Amino acid sequence: MSTLLRARLSGKGVYAITDGPRDDLFAAVEAALAGGARLLQYRDKTTDAARRAREAAELATLCARHDVPLIINDDVALAQACGAAGVHLGVQDVSIAEARAILGPDAIIGTSCYGSLERAKQMRDEGADYLGFGAMYPSTTKPHAPVTTHDVLTQASQLGVPVVAIGGLTPDNARSVIDAGADFIAVVSAIFAAPDIQAATRRFADLFDARPGIIQ
């Protein structure tokens, strides 16, 4: 990973994740970025390739304007086409090596580790730039996802790769996963289903800004 991208992952903060098509997508993302999101993931599981390509290209421009990396969920080809900073891979997606071959050495490639430290170690060794764990709490986005213990975050924080916690996070419970070792808190509905997206994002961001000793 390039020095620039490594620096953009070396801090801590909010990882905002979109969820499916919405008419006000760009305004919603703009609000999340204004609220202090440090990473943005475009997550859209529909099969409307043309719309997804248009949206991803616009989001890449928007994120560049805010100097926030855009990560594309699952779709390496879309990440390449829109010039995104990287891609997020699940267990059924292509390998990190395949994604790296397409996106290049500077891409941010993150991966879902669910609740598995063994998978986390394997993904780290294969070159993952961050490790995602969850669900930390019952999640409306993935209601059937098993809940992961906070202790997994603490152990994963020793692996030398940024740790991302996801699943059911709210401003009231997210501090506990930060204290357990999460570098980033990934949030979907608690941001993008909020009546005031910017304010909701800021509430999460303030959990980091208020912590002593953390350089933003």
Strand partners, 39: 15
- CA–CA gap between residue 142 and residue 183 (Å, rounded): 21
Answer whether 162's CB lies under 8 Å from 175's CB: no
**C-alpha span between 28 and 193 (Å, rounded):** 10
| Catalytically annotated residue among 38, 52, 100, 112 | 112
User: Of these residues, 12, 43, 52, 124, which one is catalytic?
Assistant: 43
Active site residue 43: yes
Choice among 95, 142, 157, 176 that is catalytic: 142
58, two tokens: 């616009």
Confirm if 78 and 43 have CB atoms less than 8 A apart: no
Distance CA 99, CA 215 (A): 31
Q: From CA 79, how far away is CA 85, in angstroms rounded?
A: 8
Residue 88 DSSP symbol: E
Q: List residues with catalytic annotation.
A: 43, 112, 142
